[in-house]
Every structure is written in structure tokens, then in C-alpha cells.
Amino acid sequence: MVRMIPLCQLKGGCMGCCGRNYVSKEEVKVAILQNTKDFDSINPQTKAKLIKFRDRAQPQELRNGVCFNIIEQKGRLFCPLHPAVNKGVDLRINHCDVDFQCRTAKLFITWDKNRQERFIDYIQKKELDNLDYSLEMDNSHLLDSFEAEEKEKGSNSNL
């Protein structure tokens, strides 16, 4: 969850880049549930308490392959350290690579508006919950299937 391009917010929020070597959706779900419990028990209402939440684990530590900071509230996945939910203050600095973009995001920002909208529409039509979506962004499956479909349409229009 880096620079909040539209892709990072679809399907209830993406956490594809908030971890690595995911073993299974179930294990990711368990980790996020535990993170959310930790968050609720600290109930961070101040910057100091948010830092307390963040610093309960080292930056390189992962829980089932998942960052200790990603949580779920009201069905949405998000990072409480992100400036977008933290009055512009970025508490992720020195904790994760705030400039990281997944392969899909890197390509997406180079596309023209029409192609971007087609991709967003393609994603919205898929029945994916936030974890399926995150894992498919992480492994680039959505990008690859979209590009294959676009290629197919292109070749059919040349017939």
C-alpha cells in the first residue's frame, strides 16, 4: 500500500505489497485479524500511540508473511501509518519502502486514461474479495489476464 493510486483502493483495499511470500489466503487473513486485534487493544488515538502500535514489531518482521501494521476495519484493509489516513503524517518512513510499486501499478501509471478505465472496469466486474484481489495484484494475475484479453480483442478487430 504505497502511493494510493486508484488500484490500491479497489475491492476494499489492496495489501498486496504489504508482505511477501504469502503462503495462503487463510494465513494472510489470520495475520490481519491478529494485527487488527492488536490495534484495537492499543486503540491509538494519538501519534505516540500509533508509534507504539507500529514499534511492537521490527520493520523486517512479518506475521505469516504479512506486515504487522496492515489492519481491517469495516471490511476495508488499510495501513494506519499511511499519510492518507493520518492527517498527512507518514509514519511508515524507515518502516517499509514507501515508494514501492507493484508491477501492475508501475505499468498502470504509464497507460492512457482509456486503458486505465478499461482495467478498472475489468477488475470491478470480477468477484474478488479484498484478499483475493490483493493476492492477484501481488502475483500480477489480473494484469496478465487483462493484457491477454486486450490482445485477443485487438487481434479480433483486425480480422
Q: Which residues bind ligand SF4 (CB under 6 A)?
A: 1-2, 7-8, 14, 16-18, 67, 69-70, 79, 81-82, 92, 95-96, 101-102, 104-105, 137-138
Residue 12 or 16 with smaller CB distance to ligand SF4 = 16
Quote the CA–CA distance of 91 and 89 in Å, as a whole number: 6
Residue 71's φ and ψ, nearest 5 degrees, are: -130, 170
Residue 69 or 131 with smaller CB distance to ligand SF4 = 69
Q: Minimum distance between the CB of residue 16 and ligand SF4, rounded to whole angstroms?
A: 3
E strands, 32-123, in order: 62-63, 66-67, 71-73, 76-78
DSSP 115-132: HHHHHHHHHHTS---HHH
Q: Minimum distance between the CB of residue 20 and ligand SF4, rounded to whole angstroms?
A: 10
Q: Minimum distance between the CB of residue 37 and ligand SF4, rounded to whole angstroms?
A: 16
Quote the CA–CA distance of 18 and 148 in Å, as a whole number: 27
Residue (of 138, 66, 147) closest to 103 by Cα position: 138
Q: Minimum distance between the CB of residue 157 and ligand SF4, rounded to whole angstroms?
A: 29
Q: Minimum distance between the CB of residue 116 and ligand SF4, rounded to whole angstroms?
A: 13
Residue 28 or 105 with smaller CB distance to ligand SF4 = 105
Quote the CA–CA distance of 11 and 124 in Å, as a whole number: 7
Residue 102 or 157 with smaller CB distance to ligand SF4 = 102
Beta-ladder partners of 19: 66
Residue 90 or 152 with smaller CB distance to ligand SF4 = 90
